[in-house]
Amino acid sequence: MKLENSLNILAPISGKVIELTAVNDPVFSQKMMGDGFGIIPSGISVVSPVTGTVTFVAETKHAIGLTTSDGAEILVHMGLDTVELKGVPFSIRVKVNDKVTAGHTIATMNLTAITDAGKDPTVVVAVTNTDTYLKNIQVNTGEITAGQVAANVTSEVTDNTVEHSSQSYQQMAKQIINNVGGKENINSLIHCITRIRFYLKNDNLPDDNAIRNLDGVINIARSGDQYQVVIGSSVTEVYDAVIDELGPNFFNNKPIIPTESTTIPGKIRYAFNSFIGVLTGSMIPIIGLLGGSGILKGILGALCGYGLLEKSSGTYLLFSAIADSLFYFLPIVLGFTAAKKLGANPITIAVVGGVLTYPTLIAASNESIQLTVFRIPAHMMSYTSSVFPIIFAAWIGSYLEKWLKKIIPSVVRSIFLPIIEVILLSLLIYVGVGPIMMYLSKLLSLGIESIYFVNPALTGFLVSGLYQVLVIFGLHWAIIPIVVNDLAISGHSYLNAMISVTMVAQGAAALAVALKARDKKYRDLSWAATISAFCGVTEPAIYGITLKYKRIFFLSNLGSAIGGFLTGFFKVDAYALSGSLIGFPAFINPSLGVTSNLLGYVIAHITTLIITFIMIMIWGYSPDEDINPVLN
């Protein structure tokens, strides 16, 4: 027997409603936890999106579960990956078994504390029993006030429900423990609302395929030192079963979360992961704007090249300023984001960035004037568009501020601490490490070009063929600053051109799956991943499609390699941080307009798309693998 019902889901917080596929977390964006929506919050008060009963409150306060009278199971997840914050930014106003009405305040969020910790504050609302409850959902995207209707759900509930027994959870726990390498390989574990997070002694021991194919396991993911098993709404039961299997003495003298390793290889890995984390946290907030600025510069170059726009016109001057300003003043913006990631004062470090881009000092550097500061020779040079000096300043500033707080009396601290910090950091860069870092940046840029020109086609084949493998491990964030540095030093980047074709290959793979898939849910996911990849974001395609099938991932990377070979063969160059199909204006030379470089871009990218698409259609995918992919 089927029953239909309509349910309004209110916005739990004021902000901007976005589609769930746009949420920056593969577990939610791929709807592993069910359908729903996200909200980029502007308010701090969290209200209940439905009338019902509180069935779950996370120990770390970042998530609340509710059940309505007609059986809808609603999850309110506050921030992404905020389980690591141990509840600090959240204040919960309800407890399990409380009855709440829609619009009733259930929690508050400290957005500043979340963003300062480097976490995404996006609030996710998901119908966790989508498979058995949800028939259709209509999301109202855009700005919204807490308590207004954000989505309307049409339910279709049957009386045939399937529940896991405690015995099945116990069996699943045994299988998970065995396949992560046994008890002896587990240092510790925690769980959030969707995943059990293992800290393992040896990350190479887990059998990913065996765990992924267990009944009740949605997927696996690796993040930093965590091995994450994505369970879904039953995570608490499975976690408890795992704890029971490990035994009461397992956690004796064991830390909940492992600290920095004491071994040399461990320290190196810890330092490298920390470095990648800083680069990621610093660059992510501005990547989209950098890409958009690059596209605008390409369009201006094309218009001028065809004689449709004069460089002396007011229109060109205004839009050129819009396109160039972020890149020119990059030390200011990057100083702000890097300081937030490192725990320094963002405004203070941004001011240091302003010193690095101060017009008078730039003019002095252009005139090669030899200046002294306190009789110490200071090499004046332009730091506009630079990356590494300001990140270094933010890192030093995070320690300098703590030291200054100890020696400056609190009565005058607010006045003297910021300006003293700006003075010391500016001196450090101009008199000390700045010239060295800029010299090393130039060497890095020249080194990349030197390697590239030994054999451009072979370089493109290798770089493009391997780049998306780096994305899986998060190591591509070590490459992005190199590209930005390349653009700052040389005004162009061959490396960015090689990266661009890999995005098209992932999009072509997802497109082939979208056309062949019979399962509607998987087909919709594939279409969303296709559009995302062609717009330059490949994670939905990788985590939702290609990584589920070894054949697709291998063939898509082979398509990338072929595209990289053509990119190198035609010496395709990029003049801005943008790529894939939507980023074609980045391959138009801003000075010369449309040239053979754009033709090389078209040949390499379209060939990549066609070859990858054909390979996946013929060899990469069978619709019978929609639900339970065969990893072969």
pLDDT in tens, 263-314: 676 667 666 666 766 776 677 677 667 767 767 877 887 787 667 888 788 8
- 629 versus 215: the higher-pLDDT residue is 215
pLDDT at 150 over 90: yes
3-state secondary structure of 396: helix
Mean pLDDT for 490-500 is 86
- Name beta bridge partners: 18: 38
Task: Compute the C-alpha angle 9/13/16, nearest 5°.
Answer: 90
Mean pLDDT for 367-373 is 65
Residues 180-238 have pLDDT tens digits of 988 888 887 877 656 787 888 888 888 888 887 787 776 787 766 678 887 766 777 88
Highest mean pLDDT among 109-113, 388-392, 526-530: 109-113
Q: How many residues does the chain have?
A: 632
Identify the pLDDT of residue 629.
42
Which tokens in the block code for residue 525? Answer: 């996911």
Q: Which fold has domain 166-259?
A: Gyrase A; domain 2 (3.30.1360)
Helices (H), 42-144: 111-116, 130-133
Look up residue 435 and give its amino acid: P
pLDDT band at 630 (very low <50, low <70, confident <90, very high): very low
Range scoring the smallest mean pLDDT among 16-25, 310-319, 430-439, 581-590: 430-439
CA distance readout (Å), 461 to 449, 499, 508, 571: 15, 11, 18, 12
How many Å apart are CA 570 and CA 566, to the nearest integer?
A: 6
Could you tell me which residues come within 8 angstroms of residue 343 by beta carbon, excluding any fewer than 6 positions away?
A: 116, 398
Residues of the chain with pLDDT > 90, as a percent, come to: 23
616 neighbors 557 (Cβ within 8 angstroms): no
Identify the pLDDT of residue 217.
78
Residues 408-463 have pLDDT tens digits of 888 888 889 999 999 999 888 887 777 777 677 677 667 777 787 888 999 899 98
pLDDT at 256 over 50: no
φ/ψ of residue 10, rounded to 5: -85, 155
Mean pLDDT for 534-555 is 77
pLDDT at 159 over 80: no
Range scoring the smallest mean pLDDT among 36-40, 456-460, 477-481, 527-531: 477-481
Q: 591-607 burial, b for 16+ CB within 10 Å, e for fewer?
A: eebbeebbebbebbbeb
Report residue 383 CA to chain centroid gap.
27
pLDDT at 167 over 50: yes
Q: 223-260 burial, b for 16+ CB within 10 Å, e for fewer?
A: ebbbbbbbbbbbbbbbbebbeebbeeeeeeeeeeebee
Report residue 475 CA to chain centroid gap.
12
Could you tell me which residues come within 8 angstroms of residue 24 by beta carbon, excluding any fewer than 6 positions away?
A: 80, 120, 122
Average confidence score pLDDT of the chain: 81
How many Å apart are CA 542 and CA 469, to the nearest integer?
A: 10
- 212 versus 250: the higher-pLDDT residue is 212
Q: Whole-structure pTM over 0.75, yes or no?
A: no
Q: 87-123 burial, b for 16+ CB within 10 Å, e for fewer?
A: eebbebbbeeebebebbeebbbbbbebbbebbbbbbb
How many Å apart are CA 343 and CA 337, to the nearest integer?
A: 10
CA distance readout (Å), 440 to 354, 388, 626: 22, 10, 49
Q: Is 205 left (phi over 0), alpha (psi -120 to 50) or beta?
A: alpha
Identify the pLDDT of residue 174.
86
pLDDT band at 160 (very low <50, low <70, confident <90, very high): very low
Mean pLDDT for 584-589 is 84
- 132 versus 62: the higher-pLDDT residue is 62
How many Å apart are CA 617 and CA 175, to the nearest integer?
A: 35
pLDDT at 261 over 70: no
Look up residue 611 and give its amino acid: I
State the DSSP code for 215.
T
3-state secondary structure of 77: strand
Positions marked active-site: 77
Residues of the chain with pLDDT > 70, as a percent, come to: 83
Mean pLDDT for 20-33 is 84
Query: Residue 48, Cβ neighbours under 10 Å: how many?
Result: 25
How would you write 567-625 as a 3-class SS string? HHHCCCCECCCCCCCCCHHHHCECCCECCHHHHHHHHHHHHHHHHHHHHHHHHHCCHHH
Domain range list for the chain: 2-158, 166-259, 265-451, 455-625
* Superfamily of domain 2-158, CATH level 4: Glucose Permease (Domain IIA) (2.70.70.10)
Identify the pLDDT of residue 158.
45
Helices (H), 247-263: none
Helices (H), 473-536: 480-490, 494-516, 520-534
